[in-house]
Chains A and B, each alone.
Chain A
Amino acid sequence: NAGVTQTPKFRVLKTGQSMTLLCAQDMNHEYMYWYRQDPGMGLRLIHYSVGEGTTAKGEVPDGYNVSRLKKQNFLLGLESAAPSQTSVYFCASRRTGVGTGANVLTFGAGSRLTVL
């Protein structure tokens, strides 16, 4: 059981280039999230999705777009990368519904992005 898988793990971009980070989960979770983490800071929510075909903005959505065409996948796109987007990106997912485990997030291992 792989859980949450992020690809790529590392990427270096030049300013203005575009790229997509892929998050895949095999737990049939409804909710998926993209966070970014910068040195010395906690995780900040970029975008999230409460189900296939839905997306919503988090705390720091500017400069990013997301898509959730399939339930198991949540894509994070950078249309024109900027040095300020140099960060470690984490994807997470959780199931919906009630129950004490419903709000527990499972995280991926992270994707380290450097924009030169």
Chain B
Amino acid sequence: DAKTTQPPSMDCAEGRAANLPCNHSTISGNEYVYWYRQIHSQGPQYIIHGLKNNETNEMASLIITEDRKSSTLILPHATLRDTAVYYCIVNYLHGSSNTGKLIFGQGTTLQVKP
């Protein structure tokens, strides 16, 4: 079962920031939070990941709460091309038990509107 909970859908106006929440209340100390997105009919695309510090790259920012039980993916200036399903996943990064099995939930469908 997916270890994360996300709203099924969200809308965002073009040019505005899109804030996508994710709850992962059972996350363990050495599990990372990963975000992927899937644009219609394409393979999923990696966006960003983090452990406990906030992270930023050229695509997005990831804000993780201090207790690590939730996080928010921020697309600072959403465009129509950001319309996609966004998946939040938790997984171990290191360790002998890390097979890298990423369990995808149903994600959040983000609709960016003009």
Contact = CB atoms under 8 A, between A and B. Distances in A.
Interface of A: 4, 31, 33, 35, 40-45, 48, 50, 56, 58-59, 88, 90, 92, 94, 96, 98, 100, 102-110
Interface of B: 2, 32, 34, 36, 41-46, 49, 85, 87, 91-94, 98-107
Contacts of A88: 41
Given A42-B87, A42-B107, A105 B44 contact: yes
A25 to B, nearest CB: 12
A103 B42 contact: no
A33 B43 CA distance: 13
A107 B101 contact: no
Nearest to B2: A42
A93 B109 CA distance: 24
A41 B106 contact: yes
A105 B46 contact: yes
A88 B68 CA distance: 33
A36 B43 CA distance: 11
Nearest to A107: B43
Contact of B105 (A42, A104, A107): A42
A58 B49 CA distance: 23
Contacts of A44: 104
B62 to A, nearest CB: 12
A108 B43 contact: yes
Contact of A48 (B45, B93, B99, B104): B99
A65 B106 CA distance: 25
B93 A94 contact: no
Contacts of A98: 93-94
16 contacts: A31-B99, A42-B104, A42-B105, A42-B106, A43-B87, A43-B104, A45-B102, A48-B101, A56-B99, A58-B101, A94-B100, A103-B32, A103-B92, A103-B93, A103-B100, A109-B42
